[in-house]
Structure 1
Amino acid sequence: MKHMKLSNRTSCALAVAASLASVPAVAQEPEKAAKGLERIEVTARKTVESLQEVPVAVTSIGAMELAEKGISVLTEVQQFSPNTTLQTSRGTNSTLTAFIRGVGQQDPLWGYEPGVGIYIDDVYMARPQGAVLDLLDVQRIEVLRGPQGTLYGKNTVGGAVKYVTKEMSGGTEFNAEATVGSFSQRDIKLTGQIPLIEDKLFLGFGYGDLNRDGFGTFLVAPNGEDKENYNKDIKAARVTLEFHPSDDWFMRLNWDKTTDDSNAKGGYRLVPSLLTDAPIPDNKYDSYTSLPTWNKVELEGISLMVNWDVNDDLSLKYIGASRKSDSPTNIDFDNTGINLFDVPAVYDDENTSHELQANYQGEGFSLVGGLYAYDSESCGVFDAILGGLGVTLETAGCNNSEAYAAYAQSSIDISEKLSLTVGARYTKEEKEASVYYGFLPGVAYPNSDWVEGYTRAPGTGVPMSLGVDSDGDGVLDAPKTASWNRFTPRIGVEYQMDRDTMFYASYSQGFKSGTFNPRASANEEAADPEVADSVEFGMKKDWNQQWRTNVTLFWLNHKDRQYIVVEPDPNDPTILGQNLGNAAKSKVKGLEAEMTYVATDNLSFDLALGYMDAELEQDESIGTPLVGLSNTPDYTISLAAKYALDTDFGPVVFNGGYYYRDDYLLFEDNAILKQDGYGMVNLSVSWESVEGNWYAGLHAKNLTDEEYMVGGYSFVGGINPDGSYLPGFGGDTTLAAYYGDPRTISLTVGYRF
């Protein structure tokens, strides 16, 4: 397993809001096969393999395809991966909602665990804030569908999304890129690398400044506030140091920081306000607010990776990372010019992780194993200002976690064609949580200098609602704790019928951590972990170097789904109760098909088809009925065509695509916010000079200007016989939606040497 000096070493990307650490010494650009189809390498099983040899349902999108299609942000990747939802959440530009095969988590409050894991070179991103990454210097993106509990651990019940960053070449390089486009888009990206000691020590650097005016405006906002809605203002920087002391050793130290100063997003009122003059706006991106429009998501991290090739068969790796994030935000739930239901909030997170990994490649036998430790502190405070009632409901607290795991997965050749995969992971986790919950008179805002164990000035605090009475005086005064452990297995068989045809079957299990309710108004117990059991049958086949068909059938049983059940007081719908419990289980069966047809040396087609048949079974003890799975359309279809043209002034590539997404619910507990099926058309043309130093791309996205919901809020007290809505929490009809990007056109020009 020796590596050529410099050739298989990976550099950090300038990935906005990303934790850039542990880089597999494996990332390669796709290699052209003898005819037509490309060989694509992935690290889905934490070792280098051909996509066609991996018995996992995985979509891989390489750097060249990302650039040619103008894919600039993570959420666009959902268009190319079947049964996948990656969308920007409600209040900010950089908070992610991720679902795969009907499994995910859309509530970004501290303490809640995602159902789809996001990884930057095998370093886990714990929180959805900042997870909508802008794609800079990325080698490829891999979407692993189905539970990944054995190799990737907790919170991958639906699957995982992996960034793999580009390699550092070892020479002096510099790349400058500028983009202009619709809504006054103006982006600058600078990346480069410098050898400090020839063949030994290298410095990489990057900077990005990404800006865009709003898609809409705040029609009403406080005096002096910026009225841009859905604007973009992001700055990011990173510095990377790579050290190659010998052929057998490689070390990389990385620091990165990202600041998103985009305005808080305002929602589109779907019904007029009952209490103020706030009619339905004409533009889906227009809103009203009584809050300040500023917002911030700030992320910073440092990581270290050390790799030692012990011999040709064995390598050892250490991956360590430490990250912190701070996000003060302003979310106007009612979206009016008065404070009927305003929620200013502060989120604060810190986490560290350590992983020791061994990778052994023997004759007819391979093994990946390791030890993992994770420690996080996740805290926050928000004030629900109910101006119509003259009070503020304050919720604050922390939900901290310590987790340890040991894992191993082996592939064993039983014969020349038949192999067996066996893996398991054991995870032990302990959480402690405290919640402070209560009403304050008048208007209150989060205390800007709050700390863990949140306190206010005497006489203005709210009582602890979730915790422990440590001194027996009848008052909760210490965090509450709970612990869980879980054994998550994987077993599979693979049959390589011939060089180009593989069949596989597998059983795998994933789990999402148990957790406490960060909105608890009573001293409730923690919700149990979620568990997903999945069975897959798949075929991967290349036909005559022109057709590639990767097809998967799956059955997924998701038990103990965690839900916040919102139940207004039956005597007063303006009083809200929010209880966390294991409210339901679901069964999803489906199909995923990814096909490539290389018609000629210049023309190729891609099809990605996803189908899901989902059933939701509710716990009868939960009063609020659940109506279906959120963010889970029955069908997703992507059809793309690519035509490459060689000219005297350099290669020109044309890309066109159509993406269809069937109707889906935004929330499980009501069908009021439901998005109808829609289709989207994208076109791109890219060019590179003969010398390869100049390049450009013209990209048109959502050409038909489709309007589609990606998030929302529903707080209504019921429906009248005439179809109008009764007032709900806050005393008004709060029903608002957030939308995906409208039609945009952009031009990118870059120079590299």
Structure 2
Amino acid sequence: MRNLLLGGVAAVVLGVLVGAPEACAASALEALDSVSEEASSALEEVIVTARRRSEAAQDIPVAVSVLTAARIEDAGVFTVGRLQQLAPSFQYFSSNPRNTTVNIRGLGVPFGLTSDGFEQGVGVYVDDVYFARAAAATFDFLDVAQVEVLRGPQGTLYGKNTTAGAINITTESPTFAFEAKGEVTLGDLEFRQVKAAVSGPLTETVAGRLALSSTARRGTIWNVRTQTWVNSQDNLGLRGQLLFRPMADLDVLLAADSSAQDPECCAQIFVRTGATQRPLARQYAALAAAQGYAVPSTNAFDRITDVDAGLRAGNIIGGASARVKWDVGPGTLTSVTAWRFWDWKPENDRDFIGLSIVRRSQNPSQQDQYQQEIRYDGSSGPFDFVGGLFAFHQRIDTQGTEEQGANASRWTLTGALAANPAVLDGLVARNTQWLTNTSAALFGQVSWKVNDSLTLQPGLRINYDEKEGYYLRRVFDGQGAPVLFGQTDPVKVAQRNVYAPQLSAPSFSDWNLSYDLTASYRFTGDILGYATYAKAFKTGGINQNGLPADPAGNPILAAGTIRPEDVNHLEAGLKTRIPAFAGILNLALYRTDIRDYQATVTNGQFGVLRGFLANAGRVRSQGLEIDASVAPTEFFSAYVNAAWTDAKYVRFVDAPCPPELSGGTTAAPGQSPSAPGTPGGVSPANCDISGSRLPGVSEWSFTYGAEVQRPVTLLDREGEAYLGVDGSWRSDFSSNASPSAYTNVKAYGVLGLRAGFRAREGLELFAWVRNALDAEYYEFLAVGPGNTGLIAGQPGDPRTVGLTLRLSR
């Protein structure tokens, strides 16, 4: 029935669009005769606030992808993560909301498990409010007007570290004319989404706006153990705003929002195994066979699992803000005061299979952040300027629990201890940790119009950061007795090798100076060229989730802090309007070099750490980006965006080894390691991965789309019938901090189609299909714990179809 419905709608719209051959020929000739006139009139400027003031996107010397509300909604992009479908230089990976990575051009934060002790390199802003963690921006888009993806360092304009770029989200504001809109979407996988917003005057000087969004979908993976679908969606968001305008030059905007997510999520499932250098009897196949275990399917795209631990991704996000804008003197004074909170309540299965190895793995945390920004922007003669002060404070408290299960002894230990389930069954590590993060900055930028063609734009940022952390891990056996250093009983030693007690209190503080200089030249009214040099820093950090340990099990205190990233960035670009086709063609060529790159270092042990931060020597990202769009007639529009990204470790000589080189006896000085994947072999202590690609980055990525429409009258409403396509493709990428043959994600493409009717006033109805070709792809792959060779992954969504109705007035 779903296919019949979609096919029927598409057939009707195609018939309307195609019509009789004679009519089409006549229409085509008329369109060709008037193409230039129509296209010129259709070339509408897109206004952005990328430089903290309203400007035409084609007039600013910044590489920015502008995604309007219509384009976002048409493509079914309703979260930050789905922006990857429209912006090829944007990378997003998430095993659950807490472990979310947002990068631009391959840079931003280390790929893999995240830590609160370091900063994002890609800043996420909603209506000028900074979201300190990517996890706090995993909400559904709510009443969004526009999204701008700024590429490259932005620190001299934005109040927090943005060494790789910024996501600038603008929501709709209250209006003094009544308006209302609503949207209902139904699809397979029990997909249900409702959006609504209402806005209007409350008094002559006060306007209000209220918006809500609800999304629900059953999971895409069947758990045969619990007989439930997992990796579902369950999101609810609410946002309210009050605009007070006592005089024409003064706006006071009060806003509050809350978003709740509580899906049964997120399972990573068996994908494959690969040989490591552990003894053969200690690798996955032998360990599973010894316990009579087999996964329910070795094909991840059967979408079946048997994970036995609880799954939950409870996420409550919200806050309040006050933004004051006052036109005074030659510019506008803006004050942004904001408070935000984030409450994370997770449950995970960290062994990825149905055996009870890690029975519980959860790190609930609570965050409060406070922001105050004051800036002034304006114009005076040949100068445009913006400058400001930014202050930020954050507190995060986390209570962690990780517990071993009944199958852990046989899986992890050897000899007589392996045969005794009680050795590890119930062994639990309880972690208490907190972090405070304080930041202050002075920033500014000036644009000097030297003449009608040449503009020089210097910028400066002075930044101070201070972090203090505390981490305490207490360990107890299955009977509740503490596990401590100094205990010599073989059982206690075995338990301590899995979970070792630890106490650390790292801290960091530092000043840094960032600056940039951009020269832009307008060759003609429609062609702008620019070149930029930027010196930026991403502040240092602390290892907040515990420290790596020495052979005796003691924390390595020197690993408690990481140095700031030192960024040198060069970029040249060209922005071109093509009025004859209502088109644009933008090019950007860049190179970013980073010293002391903040990388994620992993190990295969259950008990020490799954990942911590360290400084790699040098990283380089360089590439070319092309953004193009045309609308030669009012009946047709198309876009294509492409990115070539060459992001590599220039020098990383002491990186963690990939699984095929891990698990064996550590090589002694002068001893040669065994070949990769040699059971019982000799493993290097660490690996030189200099010259290899950064994780999560495709060398080539494309997004594209088109829409064709034709005027029709339906149900006594004038409008357009249309067909649309939106697609993306990306080449293969590494899904491990150190490149591995086992964790390379193959190239894939995702295609979306839509067909419907859009009335000129107040109504739109369309059918859609996402992942129309039912491409089988992985969002990411992960290495299982213990160097057993287990590789798990998260399959991308299958093909889905649905119907959307929008109403407005």
Secondary structure of the residue aligned to 2:235 is: strand
**How far apart are residue 98 of structure 1 and its match?**
1.2
Deviations 1:91-113 (A, max 9, x none): 34x86321111103243333242
Structure with the higher fraction of residues in helix conformation: 2
Q: Are 1:492 and 2:496 an aligned pair?
A: no
Q: Distance in 2 between matches of 1:696 and 1:95?
A: 36
Secondary structure of the residue aligned to 2:142 is: coil
**How far apart are residue 737 of structure 1 and its match?**
0.7
| CA 1:462–1:662: 2 relative to 1, 3 Å | closer
Q: Which one of the candidate residues 560, 563, 568 is aligned to 1:528? A: 563
Q: Which one-letter code corresponds to 2:730 in the other structure?
A: R
Q: Are 1:212 and 2:217 an aligned pair?
A: yes
Give the conservation status (yes or no) of the 8 Å contact 1:90–1:712: no
Q: Which range is displaced more, 297-306 or 152-161?
A: 152-161
| CA 1:494–1:575: 2 relative to 1, 3 Å | closer
Secondary structure of the residue aligned to 1:156 is: coil
- The residue aligned with 1:123 is 129
Q: Which one of the candidate residues 723, 728, 747 is aligned to 2:803? A: 747
- The residue aligned with 1:440 is 476
Deviations 1:267-287 (A, max 9, x none): 111247634524153453432
- The residue aligned with 1:704 is 773
Secondary structure of the residue aligned to 1:133 is: coil
**How far apart are residue 162 of structure 1 and its match?**
1.1
- The residue aligned with 2:322 is 304
| CA 1:427–1:328: 2 relative to 1, 3 Å | same
- The residue aligned with 2:625 is 592
The two structures have a TM-score, normalised by structure 1, of 0.85
Q: Which one-letter code corresponds to 1:750 in the other structure?
A: R
Q: Which one of the candidate residues 600, 616, 624 is aligned to 2:686? A: 624
User: Once the two structures are aligned, what percentage of the paired residues are identical?
Assistant: 25
Gaps of 5+ in 1: 1-31, 445-460, 468-479, 719-726, 728-732
Q: Distance in 1 between matches of 2:357 and 2:186?
A: 39
| CA 1:301–1:193: 2 relative to 1, 3 Å | same
- The residue aligned with 1:693 is 762
Give the conservation status (yes or no) of the 8 Å contact 1:205–1:238: yes
Q: What pairs up with 1:314-393 in 2 under 5 angstroms? A: 314-341=331-358, 342-387=360-405, 388-389=408-409, 390=424, 391-393=427-429
Secondary structure of the residue aligned to 1:183 is: coil
Give the conservation status (yes or no) of the 8 Å contact 1:339–1:385: no
Q: Distance in 2 between matches of 1:443 and 1:406?
A: 55
Q: What pairs up with 1:34-45 in 2 under 5 angstroms? A: 34-45=40-51
Q: Distance in 1 between matches of 2:600 and 2:722?
A: 48
Secondary structure of the residue aligned to 2:156 is: helix
Secondary structure of the residue aligned to 2:312 is: coil
- The residue aligned with 2:7 is none
**How far apart are residue 297 of structure 1 and its match?**
0.2
| CA 1:99–1:118: 2 relative to 1, 3 Å | same
Q: Distance in 2 between matches of 1:631 and 1:443?
A: 43
Give the conservation status (yes or no) of the 8 Å contact 1:520–1:578: no
Q: Which one-letter code corresponds to 2:615 in the other structure?
A: N
| CA 1:355–1:685: 2 relative to 1, 3 Å | same
Q: Distance in 2 between matches of 1:247 and 1:48?
A: 18
- The residue aligned with 2:309 is 291
Secondary structure of the residue aligned to 1:78 is: helix
Q: Which one-letter code corresponds to 2:529 in the other structure?
A: F
Q: Which one-letter code corresponds to 1:715 in the other structure?
A: G
Gaps of 5+ in 2: 1-37, 274-283, 410-423, 481-498, 548-554, 656-684
Give the conservation status (yes or no) of the 8 Å contact 1:177–1:750: yes
Secondary structure of the residue aligned to 2:587 is: strand
Give the conservation status (yes or no) of the 8 Å contact 2:757–2:764: yes
Give the conservation status (yes or no) of the 8 Å contact 1:271–1:279: no
Q: What pairs up with 1:98-247 in 2 under 5 angstroms? A: 98-105=102-109, 106=111, 107-198=113-204, 200-221=205-226, 227-247=228-248
Secondary structure of the residue aligned to 1:67 is: helix
Give the conservation status (yes or no) of the 8 Å contact 1:591–1:611: yes
Q: Are 1:258 and 2:294 an aligned pair?
A: no
**How far apart are residue 574 of structure 1 and its match?**
7.4
Secondary structure of the residue aligned to 2:83 is: helix
- The residue aligned with 1:474 is none
The two structures have a TM-score, normalised by structure 2, of 0.79
Q: Are 1:465 and 2:503 an aligned pair?
A: yes
Q: Distance in 2 between matches of 1:153 and 1:423?
A: 13
Deviations 1:241-289 (A, max 9, x none): 1111010110011111111011121111124763452415345343222
Q: Which range is displaced more, 504-513 or 385-394?
A: 385-394
Q: Distance in 1 between matches of 2:390 and 2:758?
A: 44
Secondary structure of the residue aligned to 1:335 is: coil
- The residue aligned with 1:14 is none
Q: Distance in 1 between matches of 2:384 and 2:116?
A: 39
Q: Which one of the candidate residues 529, 535, 538 is aligned to 1:512? A: 538
**How far apart are residue 520 of structure 1 and its match?**
2.2
Deviations 1:453-508 (A, max 9, x none): xxxxxxxx9855212xxxxxxxxxxxx42201111101010001110011100012
Q: Distance in 2 between matches of 1:339 and 1:565?
A: 26
Secondary structure of the residue aligned to 2:713 is: coil
Q: Distance in 1 between matches of 2:271 and 2:263?
A: 24
- The residue aligned with 2:576 is 541
| CA 1:466–1:118: 2 relative to 1, 3 Å | same
Give the conservation status (yes or no) of the 8 Å contact 1:111–1:378: no
- The residue aligned with 1:635 is 700
**How far apart are residue 150 of structure 1 and its match?**
1.3
Secondary structure of the residue aligned to 2:224 is: strand
- The residue aligned with 2:661 is none
**How far apart are residue 578 of structure 1 and its match?**
4.8
- The residue aligned with 1:75 is 81
Q: Distance in 1 between matches of 2:369 and 2:774?
A: 40
Deviations 1:671-719 (A, max 9, x none): 12111111121111242224x122223221111112222234313555x
Give the conservation status (yes or no) of the 8 Å contact 1:347–1:381: yes
Q: Distance in 1 between matches of 2:571 and 2:167?
A: 19
Q: Distance in 2 between matches of 1:598 and 1:176?
A: 28
Give the conservation status (yes or no) of the 8 Å contact 2:175–2:200: no
Give the conservation status (yes or no) of the 8 Å contact 1:70–1:697: no
Q: Are 1:414 and 2:483 an aligned pair?
A: no
**How far apart are residue 575 of structure 1 and its match?**
5.9
Secondary structure of the residue aligned to 2:399 is: strand
Q: Distance in 2 between matches of 1:203 and 1:544?
A: 39
Give the conservation status (yes or no) of the 8 Å contact 2:629–2:638: yes
| CA 1:392–1:584: 2 relative to 1, 3 Å | farther
Q: Distance in 2 between matches of 1:147 and 1:528?
A: 19
Please identify the structure whose Cα radius of gyration is greater.
2
State the number of aligned residues: 669
Give the conservation status (yes or no) of the 8 Å contact 1:602–1:643: yes
Give the conservation status (yes or no) of the 8 Å contact 2:695–2:739: no
Q: Which range is displaced more, 32-41 or 95-104?
A: 32-41
| CA 1:568–1:179: 2 relative to 1, 3 Å | closer
Deviations 1:732-752 (A, max 9, x none): x54211122221112111222
Deviations 1:497-534 (A, max 9, x none): 11001110001233322111122232333101123221
Give the conservation status (yes or no) of the 8 Å contact 1:366–1:411: yes
**How far apart are residue 52 of structure 1 and its match?**
0.9
Q: Distance in 1 between matches of 2:611 and 2:348?
A: 19
Q: Distance in 1 between matches of 2:294 and 2:471?
A: 34
